[in-house]
Structure 1
Amino acid sequence: MGAYSYPTNLIFLIPAGNSLVFRFIKVTTNSLNNRFVPWDRITTEAVLSLDDDIDLKQHEIVFAFRVWRENRHRIVGFPARHHARYDDQMYYNSNHTCQLSIILTGAAFLHKSYLHAYTHQMPEAIRHHVDDVMNCEDIAMNFLVSHITREPPIKTTSKWTLRCPTCTETLSQDESHFHERHECIRLFTRIYGYNPLK
């Protein structure tokens, strides 16, 4: 599978008093693209892509999953953003607005087939760019799914912030974060030949 490193071992964690089994896959490369590797261990159609600093309640996850089951071809999730055009340039926008064209994959359900499409069918230049800037894998996935479906993602909460209040170090705090995201939208638009975000 190209540049992706597969785990040398798996760590199994079984929470006390719970029937759920969590499997953590340790990889040898630090790449945001690893979030979307179609691991053989994924046996369900639904994939919950979740960052470690997201604060969600159980009922919010259950509701989003129910919405996803009715819209399996779309990204369904929580934090939303949108793209905008100003002065003939495309921009990433995180202002609180009713508009949305991107669901951040730090808290989203998507179909496992999109993992395969991201890793094996999406233009390789996009994955390389994600590695180069250590950013934009969520925008890349939204471009891919909107390109395939010609439909927008679905936001399932009115909350604007889902971040852990005690988490102090995140990638999005870097000063270059938003500039890189503007550039990602422009680059991905050039690679696709159009902007599929709805």
Structure 2
Amino acid sequence: MSTLITIREASLNGNGGDYSPAKEKAANRGVYGARSPLLHRRLRLLVGGAKYKLILLFFLVTAAYLLSSKISPFMGWNPHYPSSVSSPSRGGYTVLINTWKRNTLLKQSVAHYASCQGTDAIHVVWSEVDPPSYKLRDYLKKMVQKKSQTAHKPNLRFDLNEEDNLNNRFKPIQDLRTDAIFSVDDDVIVPCRTLDFAFTVWQTAPLTMVGFVPRMHWLDEEKNDVVHYRYGGWWSVWWMGTYSMVLSKAAFFHKKYLELYTKKMPSSIHDYVSRERNCEDIAMSLLVANATGAPPIWVKGKIYEIGSSGISSLKDHSDKRNKCLNDFVSLYGAMPLASTNAKAVDARYEWFW
């Protein structure tokens, strides 16, 4: 029982003398010093009420989220796809899949990207002497029809090349209905929600590259007025938080760069890529940077590599990339790459931002 209540009861019973405000004030001061027990109790109630409200708000928000995730498929509305992606007035994107003798991976990749609502068309870059079998063609066409979630079914087409050349992946494509190209390897899967977010980012800067695999160039040394650079892989990007390239194994760029790569880029770079069977992605990054003078945009998002082998798994891969970078810079006569530390994040799915 508080001092204040004790004094008041004593006064009413006649045991404590006449009640006065001064006695009450003095009693309060004597027990808690400058703190009133009444004020202390009210503060406790107020803090307790605030905690209760925060906890209640958390449960309400959680319940609303879970309820919407359950209801939305039933109502036929999917909140993961921005309206700008599927709107005919804004267009979608063409998925350009580079493949080579990995039909199992190709089937998985085509089936996945056919299910993304932003996909307008799927082009498979085929660089084998033997054309794709009718069985494979029919299977992929049926898979596209089955997996597509839109009224407009993506158009599937094979872009045939008789020789194995990495320059093939950037050949111009006739009759494209979209400006946006999403270039991807057959063993890379980007979730549809993440892919469509990256597309909205690209729409804000359609002349630059927007992708998921960042890389960096570093100044290595300078001797006799000759500058040498070092190619920085994922760990250097992670450590420094800086990048200057996004690899074309999973990146958006404007369709006009297919024309520029094939017809305007120095033929010496084409010959180099053909001879070394490597570095076409570095060549494309240099091309876009040289055309824009701007850095690319790295989009935060989880991607999945479903294959177990590739050029990057070779022992001397890093040394070859260093050599490619410096040889290309020599052919350009300057370093066009621009570095940045910006990263695009979908704030709807981030707890802290």
Is the TM-score greater than 0.5?
A: yes
Unmatched 5+ stretches in structure 2: 1-126, 223-227, 339-353
In the alignment, the residues of structure 2 paired with residue 46 and residue 152 of structure 1 have an alpha-carbon distance, to the nearest angstrom, of 18
1:105 and 2:105 matched: no
Which of 147, 172, 193 in structure 1 is aligned with 2:290? 147
Q: Which moved more, 1:43-52 or 1:117-126?
A: 43-52
For 1:124 and 1:174, locate their aligned partners in 2 and report how far apart those are by CA, in whole Å.
26
For the residues of structure 2 that align with 1:8 and 1:41, how far apart are their CA atoms? 25
How far 1:163 sits from its partner (Å)? 4.3
Within the alignment, does 1:126 sit opposite 2:230 as a pair?
no
SS in 1 for 2:193: helix
| Partner Cα separation in structure 2 for residue 176 and residue 120 of structure 1 | 31
**Structure 1 residues without counterparts, runs of 5 or longer:** none
- Three-state SS of the structure 2 residue aligned to 1:87 is strand
> 2:301, 2:243 → 1: CA distance?
12
Mark the CA change 1:8 to 1:168 in structure 2 (over 3 Å): closer, same or farther: closer
1:25-104 aligned within 5 A = 25-88=159-222, 89-94=228-233, 95=235, 96=238, 97-104=240-247
* Code of the aligned partner of 1:16: Q
> CA–CA distance in 2 between the matches of 1:9 and 1:168?
24
Counterpart contact for 2:194–2:301, Cα < 8 Å: no
What is the aligned counterpart of 1:174 among 286, 308, 314?
A: 314
Give me the whole-angstrom Cα distance separating, in 1, the residues matched to 2:199 and 2:156: 18
The 3 A distance-change label for structure 1 pair 122 and 106 is: same
What amino acid sits opposite 1:134 in the alignment?
R
The equivalent of 2:70 in structure 1 is none
For the Cα contact (< 8 Å) 1:76–1:108, is it kept in 2?
yes
TM-score if structure 2 supplies the norm length? 0.51
Contact 1:90 1:186 in 2 (8 A): yes
* Deviation for aligned residue 1:186: 0.5
Runs of 4+ displaced beyond 6 Å: 7-10
Name the SS for the 2:201 alignment partner.
helix
| Residues 8 and 26 in structure 1, CA contact (< 8 A), matched pair in contact too | no
Q: Percent identity?
A: 34
Larger RCO (CA under 8 A, 6+ residues apart): 1
Matched position secondary structure for 1:85: strand
Query: What one-letter code is carried by the residue in structure 2 that aligns with 1:111?
Result: H
For the pair 1:197 / 2:337, whether they are aligned, the reply is yes
Counterpart in the other structure of 2:84: none
Q: Is the 8 A contact 2:209 2:296 kept in 1?
A: yes
Cα RMSD between the aligned structures? 2.0
SS in 1 for 2:189: coil
Instruction: Give the residue type in structure 1 aligned to 2:207.
Output: H
CA contact (8 A) 1:135 1:177 kept: no
Aligned residues: 190
Partner of 1:185: 325
Hey, what's the Cα distance between the residues in 2 that align with 1:91 and 1:48? 27
SS for the counterpart of 1:131 is helix
Per the TM alignment, residue 42 of structure 1 is displaced from its structure 2 partner at its CA by 2.8
